[in-house]
A = this chain, B = another copy of it.
């Protein structure tokens, strides 16, 4: 099973302080870009893969979804999602994306935010999502960008001119990456961009849009620290069509 770092108390304490947890979608700078990828949700049955605190699950119901099933590996996450939700059409369950079983053609839209990079067997997951979707539906997901994830020590360095740069190394060497983020040894899985795209295609998805989050000038004006996201993409966003 995937590492359950979100149930590590130190990690969870730190994680809860992130703007995207305290403010919800308004604290996620990539959200406007993600939102543009999300199709009309009216009447749809939705699976939210790695739902966390349920911010997006609740938003999707506000958009008219018939129902949302949010799954997450973490008991902390699911407990908080349940506590923050008053909506009988939203169901939360603990489940591991590494081995999750989903009802065949049980959903009309699949969403996932920043969860798939914790999964070792991406091909299995994508096959499972494909089988769980009805024909002519969409999968929209975000993951950490492989440019961001590849290096052994993913942290800013300066080039010969003193310019802030992001190091890339070991890009073609896919697999486990351990980094310290609120806790030591958080396990993620680096995949090349080619692997992500080709796995989707091999499972029967057509790529409809691919985005690499970068802030707008307005966003940088409001939050100057976002300027570094212009230097290298931290997040990859994909909309895929289950034909």
A193 within 8 A of B: yes
Give bound CA distance, A96 to B161, whole Å: 35
Among the listed B159, B201, B206, B233, which residue makes an inter-chain contact with A171, where contact means beta carbons less than 8 Å apart?
Answer: B233
Residue of B150, B163, B209 near A152 (CB, 8 A) is: B163
Query: Which residues of the partner chain B approach A155 to less than 8 Å between Cβ atoms?
Result: 159-160
Closest residue of chain B to A214, judged by CB? B172
Given contacts A161-B153, A194-B210, contact A147 B168 (CB under 8 A): yes
CB-CB nearest in chain B for A229:
B172
Write the nearest CB–CB distance from A131 to chain B, whole angstroms.
22
Q: Is there a chain B Cβ closer than 8 Å to A197's Cβ?
A: yes
Q: Are A159 and B164 interface neighbours, CB within 8 A? A: no
In the complex, the answer to whether A165 meets B171 with C-beta atoms within 8 Å is no
Interface string of A157-182 (1 = CB under 8 A from B): 10111011111111111000000000
Number of A interface residues, CB 8 Å?
Answer: 40
| Contact assessment for B194 and A198 in the assembled complex, using a CB-CB cutoff below 8 Å | no
Q: Mark A202-218, 1 if CB is under 8 A from B, else 0.
A: 00001111111010000
A232 at interface by CB-CB < 8 Å: yes
Contact yes or no, B172 A233, CB < 8 A: yes
* Interface pair A210/B193, CB less than 8 Å apart: yes
Residue of A150, A159, A192, A207 with highest tally of chain B CB at under 10 A:
A159
CB of B169 within 8 A of CB of A194, answer: no
Question: A100 contacts the other chain (Cβ, under 8 Å)?
Answer: no
Q: Answer yes or no: A84 CB below 8 A from chain B CBs.
A: no
Whether the pair A197, B207 counts as a contact (CB closer than 8 A) is: yes
